Amino acid sequence: MTILEVAVVMVIIAILATMLVPLYSSYREHAFEVKCMGNLRNLYVAASGYLEANKSWPQIPANLFASDPLTYAKSWVQALTPYGAPHPVWICPSLQASLQLTMDDIETDAYYRIDYIAPPFDSSEGSPRRSSRHPWFVETAGLHSRGNLLILADGTTTSILDLSVKPAQ
């Protein structure tokens, strides 16, 4: 083989590699979105278990989200961990990757957070299930191609974009 032939092969390989990088990136983002939807389903199952056991939605003040996010996050994790939603379930993988933090980092108070918020409901048993189209958990980051993901009271996982396109039934 001549040097020219080797150079041509290297150029062809470089071109193919550049064409694959965006493809890899889109597959990675899709995988993060699927994982995020799985997290929302886990939160839904855990909240359903909490509702069955306690006959009401966790009464964690929504104003804590802005005034004391650490207490808000820890309160939700503590409420739903016994029902199958430990702290890692509360973390959006897309946001985690963009922040470049390890899961050990987020267990410290400096980085402790949850990436899904829950709307407040009163303490009556039927409130969370009153409307099947009412969101139970909404992703805060919105880094996915369809915007913020959410899970509705009927267990449907969707996005803000999909909700704005589809009329409510």
Per-residue pLDDT tens over the stretch 17-50:
888 777 677 788 888 999 999 999 999 999 999 9
In the structure, what pLDDT confidence band is assigned to residue 169 with cuts at 50, 70 and 90? low
Distance (Å, rounded) from C-alpha 103 to C-alpha 87? Answer: 9
The pLDDT value given to residue 57: 94
Distance (Å, rounded) from C-alpha 47 to C-alpha 137? Answer: 10
Distance (Å, rounded) from C-alpha 5 to C-alpha 162? Answer: 51
Percent of the residues in the chain that have a pLDDT greater than 70, as a whole number: 96
- Long-range contacts: 131-139, Cβ < 8 Å, 24+? 133/168, 133/169, 136/43, 136/44, 136/47, 137/40, 137/43, 137/44, 137/47, 139/36, 139/40, 139/92, 139/115
Distance (Å, rounded) from C-alpha 94 to C-alpha 20? Answer: 20
- Chain-centre distance of CA 147, in angstroms? 11
Distances (CA, A) of 134 to 12, 104, 143, 163: 53, 33, 22, 11
Phi and psi angles of residue 11, each rounded to the nearest 5 degrees, phi first: -65, -45
| Domain layout of the chain by residue ranges | 30-165
